[in-house]
C-alpha cells in the first residue's frame, strides 16, 4: 500500500484539502445540482465572497491561478496593450506565457526589483518611457500580494500604486494566490486590501489556502467583468460540475478557515525563521512577512539537508525556499530546525 510522504515545506501546495473545504464538498456531493454554475453552492459562494469583501462585486471561479490571472489580465487589455509587472512576478516567470496567450499578445513589461514589489516611481517610469505608436500602450499594472518572495505590500503602498495608476489611466490587478496570508499578516480586511485601496480586479487563491483547487476572480468594477464568463468558457475554465469549485469557498469563508489557515501558515514561517536566525552560514534573504522563508546557505548545507530527505526549491535567488501551508505540523517544523542546527554547526566527530 502507498503511504503518504512525510510533510515537506517545499511548497504550500504540497498540502492536502482542509477539513472545512472537504466537508463542504461532501455536502455538495449529496444528490444532484444544476451544472455550469446555475446551482445554489455557486450562488452561496459568490455571496460569501461579496459579504467578506463588503461589496457587490462580480465573482467568477477558475480552476487555477494561471488561468485566473491570465484571463483577468486579458479582460483589462487589448492585444496592443501592455501590462507592467515585477520581474519576479508569477505571471512573468511561471505561467508559460499564458497572460500573453489569452490576451492575444498583450506584452508584459517587467520592472527590475529587489523585493518583487513595484512602486509608483517604477510604474510611472515604465508607463511613460514610450508613448509612440511603435510600442504597446501601457494599460494595466499587476502586483502580487504577498509577493513571490513573501513580502507584503502595506495598505499605503497599495493606495499609492493605485493613485499612480489612476493618474496614468492604468487598471490595477492583484495576484492574490496567497491573498489570505497577506490579510493575516496585516490584520486588515479584504476590502481595505483591495477595492478600498484602489484595486480593480483580484485573483483570490483558494488552492494554497486549503482547497483542492480553485481561484476566485473578483471584479470590483462590474463594467470590467462584461463577457468575462465567455472568456472563461472559451479558455476551458467553466466547470461543468461548478458546485465542486464553489462549495469549498463556502466551507472556507463561512467558518473563517480562510483566515485561520493563513494565520497558522504565517506563524509557522515566523517561528521557523526565528529558530534558525543566527545559525552560522545561514541567513535570511527576505524579511518574513507571510508564509515563505528564503535562506541563503552554503551548497554543502543544502546538499546535507537534501540527504536528510528534505525537499525545497532554489529557483529564486539561489537560496532555499521553505513555504508553510495551512497544515504545517509544528513538530515537523521542529525537525527541520533541528536538522539545520546539526548541519550548520556539526558536532565534532
Chain residues in the site for ligand PLP (CB under 6 A)? 64-66, 69, 90, 144, 148, 175, 177, 207
CA–CA separation, 344 and 110 (whole Å): 37
Residue with Cβ nearer ligand PLP (39 or 200): 200
CB of 1 to ligand PLP, least distance (A): 29
CB of 97 to ligand PLP, least distance (A): 13
Cα-based distances in Å from 17 to 23, 26, 208, 338 = 10, 12, 9, 28
Residue with Cβ nearer ligand PLP (75 or 177): 177
The DSSP symbol for 34 reads: -
Sheet holding 171-176, edge to edge: 58-62, 215-219, 201-205, 171-176, 137-144, 81-86, 107-111
Residue with Cβ nearer ligand PLP (239 or 343): 239
* Shortest-Cβ-distance residue relative to ligand PLP: 65
CA–CA separation, 113 and 120 (whole Å): 12
CB of 105 to ligand PLP, least distance (A): 20
The residues, any chain, with a CB within 8 Å of residue 226's CB and separated by 6 or more, are none
The residues, any chain, with a CB within 8 Å of residue 195's CB and separated by 6 or more, are 53, 55, 57, 220
Residue with Cβ nearer ligand PLP (211 or 304): 211
Residue with Cβ nearer ligand PLP (182 or 301): 182
Contact 303, 328 (CB under 8 A): no
Q: What is the chain's Cα-based Rg?
A: 21
CA–CA separation, 38 and 223 (whole Å): 22
CA–CA separation, 333 and 143 (whole Å): 30
CB of 349 to ligand PLP, least distance (A): 42
CB of 49 to ligand PLP, least distance (A): 18
Residue with Cβ nearer ligand PLP (66 or 75): 66
C-alpha cell at 101: 496567450
Residue with Cβ nearer ligand PLP (119 or 148): 148
CB of 80 to ligand PLP, least distance (A): 25
Contact 110, 85 (CB under 8 A): yes
CB of 292 to ligand PLP, least distance (A): 9
Amino acid at each position: 500500500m502507498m503511504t503518504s510522504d512525510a510533510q515537506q515545506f517545499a511548497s504550500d501546495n504540497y498540502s492536502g484539502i482542509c477539513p472545512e473545504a472537504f466537508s463542504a464538498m461532501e455536502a455538495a456531493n449529496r444528490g444532484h445540482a444544476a451544472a455550469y454554475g446555475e446551482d445554489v453552492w455557486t450562488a452561496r459562494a459568490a455571496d460569501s465572497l461579496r459579504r467578506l469583501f463588503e461589496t457587490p462585486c462580480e465573482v467568477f471561479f477558475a480552476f487555477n491561478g494561471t488561468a485566473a490571472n491570465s484571463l483577468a489580465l486579458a479582460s483589462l487589455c487589448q492585444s496592443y496593450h501592455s501590462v507592467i509587472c515585477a520581474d519576479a512576478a508569477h505571471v512573468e516567470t511561471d505561467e508559460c506565457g499564458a497572460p500573453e496567450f489569452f490576451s492575444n499578445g498583450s506584452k508584459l513589461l517587467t520592472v527590475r526589483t529587489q523585493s518583487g514589489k513595484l512602486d509608483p516611481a517604477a510604474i510611472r517610469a515604465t508607463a511613460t518611457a514610450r508613448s509612440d505608436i511603435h510600442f504597446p500602450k501601457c494599460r494595466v499594472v499587476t502586483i502580487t500580494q504577498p509577493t513571490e518572495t513573501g513580502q507584503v505590500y502595506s495598505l499605503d503602498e497599495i493606495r499609492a500604486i493605485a493613485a499612480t495608476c489612476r493618474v496614468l489611466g492604468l487598471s490595477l490587478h492583484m495576484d492574490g494566490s496567497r491573498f489570505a496570508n497577506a490579510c493575516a499578516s496585516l490584520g486588515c480586511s479584504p476590502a481595505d486590501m483591495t477595492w478600498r485601496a484602489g484595486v480593480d480586479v483580484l485573483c483570490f487563491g483558494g488552492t494554497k489556502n486549503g482547497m483542492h483547487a480553485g481561484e476566485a476572480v473578483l471584479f470590483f468594477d462590474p463594467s470590467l467583468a462584461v463577457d468575462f464568463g465567455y472568456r472563461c468558457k472559451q479558455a476551458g475554465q467553466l466547470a461543468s460540475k461548478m458546485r465542486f469549485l464553489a462549495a469549498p469557498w463556502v466551507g472556507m469563508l463561512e467558518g473563517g478557515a480562510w483566515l485561520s489557515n493563513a494565520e497558522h501558515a504565517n506563524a509557522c514561517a515566523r517561528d521557523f525563521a526565528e529558530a534558525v536566525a543566527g545559525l552560522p552560514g545561514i541567513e535570511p534573504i527576505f524579511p518574513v512577512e507571510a508564509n515563505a522563508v528564503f535562506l541563503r546557505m552554503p551548497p554543502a548545507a543544502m546538499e546535507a539537508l537534501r540527504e536528510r530527505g528534505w525537499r525545497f526549491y532554489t529557483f529564486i535567488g539561489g537560496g532555499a525556499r521553505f513555504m508553510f501551508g495551512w497544515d504545517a505540523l509544528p513538530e515537523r517544523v521542529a525537525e527541520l530546525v533541528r536538522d539545520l542546527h546539526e548541519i550548520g554547526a556539526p558536532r565534532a566527530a
